[in-house]
Amino acid sequence: MKEDDSLNITLLLIGFFINLVNVFLSHLLKPVLSAFNKNKEKFNDLREEIAELKFNLSKISVVDEFAKFARLQRSLNTLQTKLNDGVKAEESSSVKIQMIISYSARVVMSLLICLLLWSYRSTPIITLPLQWLQPFSFILSWPSSSPGAVSFLMWFITSRVTCEAFAGYLK
């Protein structure tokens, strides 16, 4: 096998797998992003305290022990406000981190795709007999000038469309 053939096979596989990863990137990032939602145990002690206060409130008669009931009710309201504020702050920071990771991955993938397309845009991936590709030979070899060749750019576009169709089929 010649050195050019292995490069072409490598480019063929790289182009396909880059498209596959790019199309399924949101699915691949789900396990990473779900790791940021595991902070729910952080507020368990506060939730337990709220449940205990609610239980104590249910045992107290409002008419007979109003002062005690009002004091417990105020502490319950304070704890619930503290819990809601903490949960909102956690969700906000979690969403920010998820957005940063998601967009960073998209930017890295886009830069990688641009670099690959710029570097190998006219490199023929595979050269087939000219009769096999007629009447699309010119389109498939563009921007390469090799007759009967499939350029990296056209291979990349074709594999992208194929991966998107496959992803649409899976949904």
Question: Which sequence spans correspond to the domains of the chain?
Answer: 3-170
* Whole-number Å distance between alpha carbons of 48 and 116: 55
Question: In this model, does residue 48 exceed pLDDT 70?
Answer: yes
Instruction: In whole angstroms, give the CA distance from residue 140 to residue 97.
Output: 42
pTM of the model: 0.66
pLDDT by residue (tens digit) across 105-134?
889 989 998 998 888 877 788 887 777 777
Q: Is 148 left (phi over 0), alpha (psi -120 to 50) or beta?
A: left
Q: Which one-letter DSSP state was computed for residue 65?
A: S
